[in-house]
Structure 1
Amino acid sequence: MQFALIPQKVSGVLANISAVRRSKGYSEEYMADIMNMPQDTYTGIEAGNIALTLQNVIEIAFIFQIDTASLLTLDIPKLPILRLVI
């Protein structure tokens, strides 16, 4: 069973994922490879064109070595100190 995130929350979560990915120097291709999916699928998820599931968020948080709750609740792009730590 897959659970989709609440739509109004998704844009903030996607911004967090993108910010952390870029701060770590990971490409979308790298993320897709690690997550065992086509690059266009990962790109679609991050762009909001393909549903972001809770399973995706948990896996992405694991790859980033960041707490899943941080991806879901923080406004990472607006926290420059946090971006340096990630």
Structure 2
Amino acid sequence: MDSVIENIKRIRKEKGYSHEYIAHELDISQVAYSKLEKKETKLSVERLYRLAELFEVNVYELLEINVINQFNKEDSIRYSQQLQRFHEENKEQHQKIIQLYEARLRDKDILIEKLEKMIK
């Protein structure tokens, strides 16, 4: 995970983005973003994808995975394990996000149903 954070820092600096700008784009405080780069807080999958989008890079670049040139089997296995660990560390958060979206969809359906009744 350390190399992911190092990649984020490197790309942020290459793009000339400040902590304040990135924090604003992630809708978090500058202090919260600084803690992320200092490895004092965990990077969520959602933020990883948002950073990739913001930096205009593929998420694999942040994870140091070169999809086209994975000739070294040992590296491939290591990266695969790193990706799996990252997924496992954030599994609970993914489930919460899914549950929230499902609840919002149910609320939307109920609201549509009520509005259709009002129209009739």
**TM-score, scaled relative to structure 1:** 0.72
Gaps of 5+ in 2: 66-120
For 1:44, give the aligned amino acid: K
CA RMSD of aligned residues (A): 0.9
Q: Which has the higher helix share?
A: 2
For these two proteins, the number of residue pairs brought into alignment is 65
SS in 1 for 2:63: helix
Match of 2:105 in 1: none
Structure 1 segments unaligned to the other structure (5+ residues): 1-9, 75-86
TM-score, normalising length: structure 2: 0.52
Write out the 4+ residue segments of structure 1 that deviate beyond 2 Å after TM superposition: none
State the 1:35 CA deviation.
0.8
Amino acid at match of 1:22: K
Which structure is richer in relative contact order (CA contacts within 8 A, separation 6 or more)?
A: 1
What is the one-letter code of the residue matched to 1:63?
L
CA distance in 1, matches of 2:16, 2:33: 16
Seq. identity, %: 29
